[in-house]
Amino acid sequence: MNYIDEALIEIRAGNGGSGCLSFRREKFIPRGGPDGGDGGRGGDIIFHVKDSINTLIEFHHKKILQAQNGRPGAGKNKTGADGNDLILEIPLGTLILDQATNNLIQDCNEPNKKYTLAKGGEGGLGNARFKSSTNQAPRKTTKGEEGELFYIKLELQSLADVGLVGFPNAGKSTFLSAVSAARPKIGDYPFTTLRPNLGTVKMGYGSMVIADIPGIIEGASEGLGLGLRFLKHISRTKSLLFLLDPINTELSPVQQFKKLHQELKKYDISLLEKNIFVAVNKCDIFEDSKPLLEELGLELSKINIRNLYPISAVTSLGVKKLLEKIYSSFN
Ligand SMILES: Nc1nc2c(ncn2[C@@H]2O[C@H](COP(=O)(O)OP(=O)(O)OP(=O)(O)O)[C@@H](O)[C@H]2O)c(=O)[nH]1
Ligand SMILES: [Mg+2]
């Protein structure tokens, strides 16, 4: 298991160090004044968003993450050292949620940004702080504050512009590797892809990110195949690209589309509010793909879908046009 997109963790910022109780002791000065220093601050827990990471595996075994405590103050007015912050690297698109309520605490959607989630406690005050005209020898000090403690859930929802949806073997990974530098595994057997892959497609001066997720089969919403747990990775995309397989011997392209549509609807109906594009892949095998497309086009138009494209991920036939259409739908 090397792909983890959810983790439950406890984060504890460092406690502040205690203030010190101390009096100056010097020869010939019998009653030196108070000189107890303050405690240091506890370290913070900071999340650092890295787009070079794409899993939460780091958090799979470490359940309690703790920043360093501040050191206590000392005599001679020495302040204790601050505790080190604990910096945790997370992938772009991680949501930080409250474990108990599932409320969103932070959406980590900006590359390289650092988010301080739990603040370290302030250091306590040493007795030197309490000296006054009426109290020259205070014995009062305060303890350091406790660091903040949170029980949180990390959930990775990849940030992509386009999500690829299709039955196993439709050619989703072949498509991603044809249009981007991503190199997902490709195979002529179902469920070659076991984890989401992202690829960036250059479009003139801009770019768009495409997410390839494991294949979906009928009953996925009840957990069949790899289930629908990877759909969260396309829940934030602007568009969905349904990739249909004309050489699937069990289901015609129309049947594939209807079943995929059905499974997505069961998972989250709002997925279907996105811009939907449909491509029939593997058109390189046909001498003439027109009859198939006409039939499919007719069926799709009944459910108001008109964005239908014949493509081949292997020969790149029709791919450029499809990408341009998708890209121009964003603006
Ligand atoms: N002829 C032809 N074969 C293709 C095309 N695209 C993909 N294939 C083949 O279809 C098979 C499946 O391709 P994948 O890219 O692994 O399919 P997938 O949709 O990612 O499959 P899963 O990861 O299992 O869901 C491979 O043998 C590919 O070579 C195409 O445009 N034309
Ligand atoms: Mg694949």
The 10s digit of each residue's pLDDT in 70-95 is 999 999 999 999 999 999 999 999 99
Burial of 311 (0-12, 13-18, 19+ CB in 10 A): buried
Q: Is 246 in the pocket of ligand 1 (CB under 6 A)?
A: no
pLDDT of 124 above 80: yes
Q: What is the pLDDT of residue 123?
A: 98
Would you place residue 2 in the very low, low, confident or very high pLDDT band (cuts 50, 70, 90)?
low
Going by C-alpha positions, the residue among 247, 261, 255 that lies closest to residue 304 is 261
Instruction: Report yes or no: 8 and 122 within 8 Å, Cβ to Cβ.
Output: no
Q: How far is the CA of 66 from the centre of ligand 2 (A)?
A: 38
The 10s digit of each residue's pLDDT in 99-123 is 999 999 999 999 999 999 999 999 9
**Beta strand extents in the chain (DSSP E only):** 6-12, 45-50, 64-66, 86-91, 94-98, 104-108, 114-118, 149-156, 162-165, 197-203, 206-212, 239-244, 275-280, 308-310
Report the alpha-carbon distance of residue 289 to residue 287 in Å, rounded.
7
Instruction: Report yes or no: 130 and 138 within 8 Å, Cβ to Cβ.
Output: yes
The 10s digit of each residue's pLDDT in 230-247 is 888 898 899 999 999 999
Q: Is 158 in the pocket of ligand 1 (CB under 6 A)?
A: no
Instruction: Report yes or no: 18 and 72 within 8 Å, Cβ to Cβ.
Output: yes
Domains of the chain plus CATH, in order, are 1-156 (2.70.210.12), 162-328 (3.40.50.300)
Q: What is the pLDDT of residue 50?
A: 93
Q: What is the pLDDT of residue 274?
A: 93
Kindly state the average pLDDT of the residues 241-256. 94
Q: Is 330 in the pocket of ligand 1 (CB under 6 A)?
A: no
Q: What is the pLDDT of residue 10?
A: 97
The 10s digit of each residue's pLDDT in 22-42 is 999 877 777 789 999 999 999
Lowest mean pLDDT segment, chosen from 62-66, 192-196, 219-223: 219-223
Q: How far is the CA of 237 from the centre of ligand 1 (A)?
A: 23
Six token digits for residue 330? 């964003």
Q: How far is the CA of 243 from the centre of ligand 1 (A)?
A: 10
Q: Which of 169, 177, 212, 282 to mutate to test the pocket of ligand 1 (most atoms within 8 A of CB)?
A: 169
pLDDT of 1 above 60: no
The 10s digit of each residue's pLDDT in 196-205 is 888 999 998 8
Going by C-alpha positions, the residue among 56, 70, 234, 50 that lies closest to residue 152 is 56
| pTM, rounded to two decimals | 0.80
Residues of the chain above pLDDT 70, percent: 99
Q: What is the pLDDT of residue 3?
A: 76
Of the listed ligands, the closest to the CA of 215 is 1
- When comparing pLDDT for 178 and 193, which is higher? 178
Q: Which of 167, 174, 195 to mutate to test the pocket of ligand 1 (most atoms within 8 A of CB)?
A: 174
Name the residue at shortest CA distance from atom 23 of ligand 1. Answer: 193
Eight-class DSSP state of 30: T
Q: Is 289 in the pocket of ligand 1 (CB under 6 A)?
A: no
Q: What SS3 class is residue 38? A: coil
Mean pLDDT of the chain: 92
pLDDT of 11 above 80: yes
